[in-house]
Amino acid sequence: MHYGLDIGGSKIALGVFDSSRTLQWERRIATPHESYSAFLDAIAGLVHDADARTGERGSVGIGIPGMPVTADGTLYAANLPAASGRALRADLCALLGRDVRLDNDANCFALSEAWDDEFARYPLVMGLILGTGVGGGLVLNGKSIPGHSYITGEFGHIRLPVDALEILGHDIPLLRCGCGQLGCIENYLSGGGFAWLYNHFYDQSLNAPEIIALWEQGDEGARAHVARYVELLAACLGTILTIVDPDLLVIGGGLSNFAALTTLLSDRLPLRLLPVARVPRIERARHGDAGGMRGAAFLHLTD
């Protein structure tokens, strides 16, 4: 059995998957913040429960926000204060008596989608999250590519390309990002960025679902806004896809619920790529909230 834990600031989700990658059992608990020992005990308790239910010692993979293993072997995760700065992987390996694998939660999202039955035939898969932020990951031959500092999929912190100024106007404000830089594409392509752009051009504060509802009703302003957003998304992805050149692009996050986005993007991308480039297959994520624990469980499947 393969155990996947998706650890966030508010909850720890455990999924138990069999050899055919089918979910057999899951459980969620609140993430402990009071102490590191309580944090370790919570994970160990979930794993031991899974062992008792399955009658075996399953493999353990964990998806976690931040950098799972920094240069000194410790975790960096700002929203997990009880564990950040601790040697989490080494401590869990010792506590559980087995190899515990950690990866960034966005990488686990990409890995989950790459191991989907229909998508497994694609050698290079890029996952793109358009949600509260913009992130994702890369999977090559079924294995995530975390990079030297676990930032391979931090697409949101690429700066706006010069084409964006033609699309949005040369006077577009360069917003300050949480990373400290100006003009990161996350501030314009995330769910909040989608809404910010609408307010910037139409002086009306609506959230993404409200704007999309207007688009579906044929509202002229919403239609123009979505067309502009898709053009911007295509321009930003044009740079990324020229470097990565994936076989498959899977879009997750809240904006992936806007089903027309993948079709609209496919139509606009060719203008932003090299003439010889082929637009990758573009699909919405298939596994939703379960993606994090699925991908974490599959960290052991590439041996």
Binding site for ATP: which residues? 4-11, 133-140
Amino acid (1-letter code) at residue 275: P
- Using CA atoms, how far residue 283 sits from 57, 201, 209, 252, in Å, is 35, 29, 20, 9
Can you tell me the distance from the alpha carbon of 191 to that of 185, in angstroms, rounded to the nearest whole number?
Answer: 12
Q: For residue 226, how many C-alpha atoms fall within 13 Å in the half-sphere facing its CB?
A: 25
Which residues participate in the annotated binding site?
A: 4-11, 133-140, 157, 177, 179, 184
Given a contact cutoff of 8 angstroms between Cβ atoms, the answer to whether 174 and 160 are in contact is: yes
Instruction: Give the number of other Cβ atoms within 10 Å of residue 267's Cβ.
Output: 12
Can you tell me the distance from the alpha carbon of 172 to that of 242, in angstroms, rounded to the nearest whole number?
Answer: 25
Which residues participate in the annotated binding site for Zn(2+)?
A: 157, 177, 179, 184
Q: Tell me which DSSP letter residue 255 carries.
A: G
